[in-house]
Homo-oligomer: A and B are copies of this chain.
Amino acid sequence: LADRVTLDRLNAMDAASYIAALGDIFEHGAWVAEAAFHRRPFPAVASLHAAMLEAVTNASADKQLSFIKAHPELGGKIARTGQLTEASKAEQGSLGLDRLSEEEFQRFEALNTAYREKFDFPFVICVRRHTRDSILNQFERRLKNTPDEERQTALREIGLITRLRLVSKVDGPGAPKTDGRLSTHVLDNVRGKPAAGVKLALFEIGKSARGLLLETITNQDGRTDSPLLSGAPLRIGTYELRFSGGSYFTAQGYEASDPPFLDEIPLRFSIAEAEGHYHVPLLMTPWSYSTYRGS
């Protein structure tokens, strides 16, 4: 984020520099930046974003439509051949949508085709807030919308996409909240203390899931030194935390059966709020455990 421009500088720029700086926040949408230019100065990053969104909302239905049409397909041929804007490339690349297996590519192609046939514009979604399974799930659901509902949905997603792009580009007060957080905490209910040194792994699970995301270990407070996920939107999808309970209990010298009743302890949950805080603790003994969404 070293190259971010400050809001103060933006507020002081002439139109040309300003549009150069913000012209690619909205996909092929320099006009959006331009439309918001005269409303400077912006006291907060959020109000700059609101002004840009308003420009889209206030545009004619035709202009909105051609604007939506300027977005690339997801996992489509353009992505494969690398002919995306820088921002779209990074977004689709973050989920590997530019390097799908043949089977996955066919599935995206089929959905893209069906979608374009029904709506005559590409499927737009804020990729950074979703797992691949969640995108495919949204794809199928949104195919059932009416064209009008779907145009509104596309604009809402563009709001989410551009909010993220703007925050990554502009440094200033009043930035909208765009990141989520996933954390855990392991408690040892045999001794009433944090369970330190527990190995754990986080998996994304599902048909098209990325699998293992990270492995770590609990510290003296039974937490991880940094959140499991943070600094970005959480991807809506299904996850599993797997805790090496058995080896912790053995290391503590707790009585256990052979094999131990509990060894690897899986907690499976889904994330629905990309900007939310998910705290998923584990309270455990060699013979019991519980979890809940905490805070």
Q: Determine which of B187, B193, B222, B261 lies in contact with A270 in the assembled complex, contact meaning CB atoms within 8 Å.
A: B261
In the complex, A286 has a CB within 8 A of chain B: yes
Question: Which B-chain residue is minimally distant from A276 (CB atoms)?
Answer: B257
In the complex, A29 has a CB within 8 A of chain B: no
In the complex, A238 has a CB within 8 A of chain B: yes
Q: Do residues A270 and B263 form an inter-chain contact, with CB atoms below 8 A?
A: yes
Stretch at the interface among A72-80, A208-216, A287-295: A287-295
Complex CA–CA separation, A230 to B286 (angstroms): 24
Q: Fill in one digit per residue for A272-295: 1 if any B CB lies within 8 Å of its CB, else 0.
A: 110000000001011111111111
Q: Do residues A190 and B270 form an inter-chain contact, with CB atoms below 8 A?
A: no
Contacts of A38 in B (CB 8 A): none
Q: Determine which of B194, B259, B294 lies in contact with A272 in the assembled complex, contact meaning CB atoms within 8 Å.
A: B259
Complex CA–CA separation, A270 to B245 (angstroms): 13
> Given the known A-B contacts A192-B293, A295-B193, are A283 and B272 also in contact in the complex, defined by CB atoms under 8 Å?
no
Contacts of A273 in B (CB 8 A): 257
Contacts of A270 in B (CB 8 A): 257, 259-263
In the complex, A268 has a CB within 8 A of chain B: yes
> Given the known A-B contacts A189-B189, A238-B263, are A288 and B283 also in contact in the complex, defined by CB atoms under 8 Å?
yes
In the complex, A191 has a CB within 8 A of chain B: yes
Q: Do residues B295 and A221 form an inter-chain contact, with CB atoms below 8 A?
A: yes
Contacts of A263 in B (CB 8 A): 238, 268, 270
Taking residues whose C-beta sits less than 8 angstroms from the other chain, chain A's interface range is 35 or more
Among A183-226, those with CB < 8 Å from B are 185, 187, 189-194, 221-222
> In whole Å, how far is A175's beta carbon from the nearest beta carbon of chain B?
22
Question: Which B-chain residue is minimally distant from A141 (CB atoms)?
Answer: B258
In the complex, A264 has a CB within 8 A of chain B: yes
Complex CA–CA separation, A262 to B255 (angstroms): 21
Question: Which B-chain residue is minimally distant from A272 (CB atoms)?
Answer: B257
> In whole Å, how far is A253's beta carbon from the nearest beta carbon of chain B?
11
In the complex, A161 has a CB within 8 A of chain B: no
Question: Which B-chain residue is minimally distant from A263 (CB atoms)?
Answer: B270
Complex CA–CA separation, A51 to B269 (angstroms): 55
Q: Do residues B238 and A259 form an inter-chain contact, with CB atoms below 8 A?
A: yes
In the complex, A10 has a CB within 8 A of chain B: no
Q: List 19 A-B contacts (CB under 8 A).
A: A134-B259, A189-B285, A189-B288, A190-B287, A192-B286, A192-B287, A193-B287, A193-B293, A193-B295, A194-B295, A222-B295, A257-B270, A257-B273, A259-B270, A261-B269, A263-B268, A263-B270, A288-B292, A289-B292
In the complex, besides A237-B259, A283-B292, A290-B290, 12 extra interface pairs with C-beta distance below 8 angstroms are A189-B285, A192-B285, A192-B292, A192-B293, A193-B287, A193-B293, A221-B295, A257-B272, A261-B270, A261-B293, A283-B288, A289-B290
